[in-house]
Amino acid sequence: MKYTSWLICLVALVGLITVQAWAEKSESDNQQTDNTTQADQTDQAEASDKADAANQEQHNDKDKDKESKAEKRKAPKFRLWPYRELISLSEEQKAQITEVHNKYVQEKKKLEEAEKAEIQTLLSDQQNEEVQQIIEARKAKQKEAAEKEKAAHKPAGE
């Protein structure tokens, strides 16, 4: 009986030591996994930060391109032919010519609107509706043609 008690205690002690060693090993593995996971997460975070920085840089480049394009659009180009061919024109002369041109463009628009209004008074309601349908059909065709043109010039992959 004496030996049996000792044997039971010994088996229990070995079992306890085995369980404790297993628990320590499991905890160590978990820490390594956590460290690996943390390292992976850190690597992923760094890669994500780099990707974000690259995306931000590309976005900034696009913004700069858009800004430069907007500035080009804002800066009026002197396009009036044949005057644009004159090399000796000063900036002041170009501005004056553009001002005169814009004044007459506005007057021309007003005259065209007055012409349209006067002609519409000559037409019946049915004829005015038909004219409106003709105008809308033309606008739709122009829009469709513009979309086809845009699609034809769009680079592959976009």
pTM of the predicted structure, to 2 decimals: 0.41
Q: How far is CA 144 from CA 85, 138, 139, 151, 156, in A?
A: 35, 10, 9, 11, 20
On the question of pLDDT at 25 being above 70, the answer is: no
DSSP 76: -
From residue 137, alpha-carbon distances to 117, 129, 134 in Å are 20, 12, 5
What pLDDT was estimated at residue 68?
64
Q: Is a pLDDT exceeding 60 seen at residue 36?
A: no
pLDDT, tens digit, 9 for 90 and up, residues 55-76: 676 666 666 666 666 655 555 5
Q: What is the predicted pLDDT for the residue at 86?
A: 82
Q: What is the pLDDT of residue 1?
A: 56
Q: What is the pLDDT of residues 86-144, one digit of tens each?
A: 888 888 998 899 899 999 999 999 999 999 999 999 999 999 999 999 999 999 999 99
Q: So what's the pLDDT on residue 5?
A: 65
Tokens of 155: 């680079």
The predicted structure's pLDDT at residue 77:
72
pLDDT band with cut points at 50, 70 and 90 for residue 150 = confident
How far apart CA 142 and CA 148 sit, in angstroms, is 10
At residue 80, the pLDDT reads 80
**Residue 84 confidence class, pLDDT cut points 50, 70, 90:** confident
**Confidence class for position 151, pLDDT limits 50, 70, 90:** confident
